[in-house]
Amino acid sequence: MQVELVYVQPPLGLLARLLPPHDDVIHEWSSAAGEAAASRAREILRGAGIAHRLHLSVGDAPTEIALLAEQTAAELMVLGTRGLGAAHHALVGSVALKAAALSAVPVLLVR
């Protein structure tokens, strides 16, 4: 078994991309944010002896997650939900639910 961890950074707006910092700084910052966000999960997986890879990307999170599931021939997507409630979901939506809708891979949602 191998676990594919994914961290998706939202894209920066056009104005932010035209002004400093430049692409290399943005890439370093995004990579550092992804590494930090995944550090606890990686520690747990290492401790359990489970092989894993971290995928870092920039874009629309549901789309990137569904695409990664397809590219890696995933057998199951396990997605966490933040449990922010119905009001938040109605206003913002759910990355997990959108990713599940975009993918043909079976999904397990974890709260």
- In this prediction, residue 31 carries a pLDDT of 86
My answer on whether 1 and 34 are in the same domain is: yes
Query: Is residue 52 in some structural domain?
Result: yes
My answer on whether 14 and 52 are in the same domain is: yes
Query: Is residue 64 in some structural domain?
Result: no
For residue 50, give its domain range: 1-59
- In this prediction, residue 30 carries a pLDDT of 78
Instruction: Kindly list the averaged pLDDT for each block of 10 residues, start to end, along the chain of length 111.
Output: 91 67 72 91 96 93 95 94 62 78 92 80
* Per-position DSSP letters for the chain, written without gaps between them: -EEEEEEEEPPPPHHHHHSSS-HHHHHHHHHHHHHHHHHHHHHHHHHTT-EEEEEEEES-HHHHHHHHHHHTT-S-EEEE-----HHHHHHH--HHHHHHHH-SS-EEEE-
